[in-house]
Structure 1
Amino acid sequence: MQETRLDTARIRAARRVIDPQFLDTPLYRCEALEPALGCAVSIKLETANPVRSFKARGTELVASLLAEHGPQAVVCASAGNLGQALAWSGRGRGLDVTVVASRCATAAKLDRIRALGARLELVDGDHETARERAAAIARHDGIRLLEDSLDLETCEGAATIGLELADSAPSFDTVLIALGGGALATGIGHVLKALAPGVEVVCVQPLGAPALTRSWHRRRVVTTDSADTIADGVAGRHPIPAVLDDLLLVADDAVLVQETSIISGMRLLLAHAGLVVEPSAALGIAAVLEDRARFAGRHIATVVCGSNVDLDSYHRWIGMGG
């Protein structure tokens, strides 16, 4: 395999830095889901931790490195989950954390960022606008800018999930991974290609936010003018070239799914797995629902990557027909 930006030895070393609360998360066969999906299903659950998403695996690395040099300041743009994770990791290490987010971000995520003690700045526009503002703050104040998926700590932190999945391979044939900025997919994909190359790596993105998937298929960066999806955690419009280069090396496929399938996936995870998840976490189930024939008779693992969801919106989605 050609080399990505990631390093398996560094990923193994990351496990010694990350708070154990975020490691060795449950991976289990969920037989109750299988009649509806027509295949064997294992769930890798990344929501049973203090920030209810996988993001702290990466922010633990960032915060640890920054704290080695005494009190530091750091800023990031976030749709919500990265900001919570950075606030959590920074709080315990004396870091001054600023999070920039869209005013349209999920209110529950923004409330939690504030509760964790980070400075929160809201901007008009979407996540790409927040990224621009965070970069401007970093330049003006001379502080560390954390860029999700571009900064290797975010990818290699997420890649520790891959180590845990590889320990269980070859019990499953395919792993389905939510695709947004790319840290989760490139991290897990890197490890599986190195340690369990027989496992198919399939990335899943909403049809309403297709930039990185289209980029993967065309093998060049494709941007979009807008993003329209309930899966706010993966609603980027401007893929990062270095991330695309890595994704091209580790992903076997990248697929797009409709909003109705995402909602159906959320409903199935609640009804048959007892899991309340945010839309991004249901993308893997949505992919199976849209192409049952492809996965029939196979054993898939899906990464349930976050459960930070606005409950009013959640109840509205789950109550919808479809």
Structure 2
Amino acid sequence: MQVTRLDTARIRAARRVIDPVFLDTPLYCCEALEPALGCTVSIKLETANPVRSFKARGTEVVASLLADNSSRAAVCASAGNLGQALAWSGRGRGLDVTVVASRFATRAKLDRIRALGAGLELVDGDHEMARERAAAIARSDGIRLVEDSLDIETCEGAATIGLELVDNAPLFDTVLIALGGGALATGVGHVVKTLAPEVEVICVQPLGAPALTHSWRQRRVVTTDSTDTIADGVAGRRPIPAVLDDLLLVADDAVLVQDASIIAGMRMLLDHAGLVVEPSAALGIAAILEDRDRFADRHVVTIVCGSNVDIDAYHRWIGPAPIHRS
């Protein structure tokens, strides 16, 4: 029998060390989406905070532990959002933070990491190369390596979203969760399956970055040689075995969606909810668009997990805004 790394009591305790600015994010039923999608859609808006993603819930827990242990330095690899979050949490606790990222990462994310005072090192490769470099820095400098999804604090920080869903949402049938490294999916999934086991937990990943979905389906780690998706925030190639073990215990399904559906989801969130989101945040809407019959007449919660997007790329994907005439 598999035993999860997550603990509901620790997740509840995590809320006490997370800056309240990241907690109790808006949760509301978006009626304007219902006619187009054929189901009731509630949005959990994890962009309404200073780093515009859910990642700071986890880095707040990590940074709190580092500060309590008098350890003053940390390094992480990031596609952008984790780096911003660790920079924010570290700045507030006087930590020396270094972020390693691909030089091909979204420029807006890289600029914000610098603005938050973290050191930034760029590598000429993808996120997996950044992970290798961050690990090398941690070894050579003797500092804490913060590994998203592997470090249980990142999962249990993200899991506090699940507490808010279960405690505050009206009855819902399904939660759609973006699947990248797995912290959000395993954390929220653990809470939902523990406290509301009747709710279906569905993870959504881009077709061009399918490693963890393939791993979930085959119940073993499956890696890929490359990724090809606009959803850079979830474009991993090498799933973490311990994360897969946790995911197998909580996910009812894992689905893959095309980039075209992600773009359509981003446009729907703009047109019907007034939200500018990054591609990863539209994965839930994309899943509904690709399988409307499955979700027909359900009440679905989708976690809008980030809005750090390159505005030029966003305009290329979404196109000009429509002109509304009175």
SS of equivalent residue, structure 1 residue 167: helix
CA distance in 2, matches of 1:176, 1:4: 21
In structure 1, the residue matched to 2:323 is none
Q: Which residue does the alignment assign to 2:97?
A: 97
**Counterpart residue number, 2:52:** 52
Q: Which residue of 2 aligns with 1:26?
A: 26
> Which aligned pairs between 1:188-199 and structure 2 lie closer than 5 A?
188-199=188-199
Structure 2 residue matching 1:129: 3-state secondary structure: helix
Q: Which residue of 1 aligns with 2:162?
A: 162
2:68 equivalent in structure 1? 68
Q: TM-score, normalised by structure 1?
A: 0.98
Quick one: which amino acid aligns to residue 216 of structure 1?
A: W
Q: Trace 1:1-322 onto structure 2 (pairs within 5 A).
A: 3-70=3-70, 72-168=72-168, 171-319=171-319
- Secondary structure in 2 matching 1:130: helix
In the TM superposition, residue 169 of structure 1 has moved relative to its aligned partner by 5.2
Task: Give the SS at the match of 2:176.
Answer: strand
Whichever residue aligns with residue 92 of structure 2, its letter is G
Deviations 1:252-299 (A, max 9, x none): 000000000000000000000000000000000000000000000101
Q: CA deviation digits over 1:118-167, x for unaligned, max 9?
A: 00000011000000000000000010000000000000000000000111
Deviation at 1:89, TM superposition (A): 0.2
Aligned partners of 1:276 and 1:307 also within 8 Å: yes
The count of corresponding residues between Structure 1 and Structure 2 is: 321
Which string of whole-angstrom CA distances, capped at 9 and with x for unpartnered residues, describes residues 210-249 of structure 1?
Answer: 0000000000000000001000000000000000000000
Normalised TM-score (structure 2): 0.97
Quote the offset at 1:70 in angstroms: 2.7
CA-CA distance at 1:171 after TM superposition: 1.3
Q: C-alpha distance in 2, partners of 1:170/1:115? A: 39
Letter in 1 for 2:171: S
Q: Is the 8 A contact 1:71 1:96 kept in 2?
A: no
| Contact 1:169–1:196 (CA under 8 A) maintained in structure 2 | no
Cα offset, 1:71, TM superposition: 5.2
**Conserved in 2, the CA contact under 8 Å of 1:180 and 1:205?**
yes
Q: What is the aligned-residue RMSD (CA, Å)?
A: 1.2
**For 2:237 and 2:71, how far apart are their aligned partners in 1?**
34
Give the letter for the 1:29 counterpart: C
Q: State how far apart, in whole Å, the 2-side matches of 1:35 and 1:124 are.
A: 45
Alpha-carbon distance in structure 2 between the residues aligned to 1:286 and 1:49:
24
Gaps of 5+ in 1: none
Q: Which moved more, 1:117-126 or 1:66-75?
A: 66-75
State the alpha-carbon separation in 1 of the partners of residues 219 and 117 from structure 2: 41
> 1:149, 1:183 within 8 Å by CA — same for their partners in 2?
yes
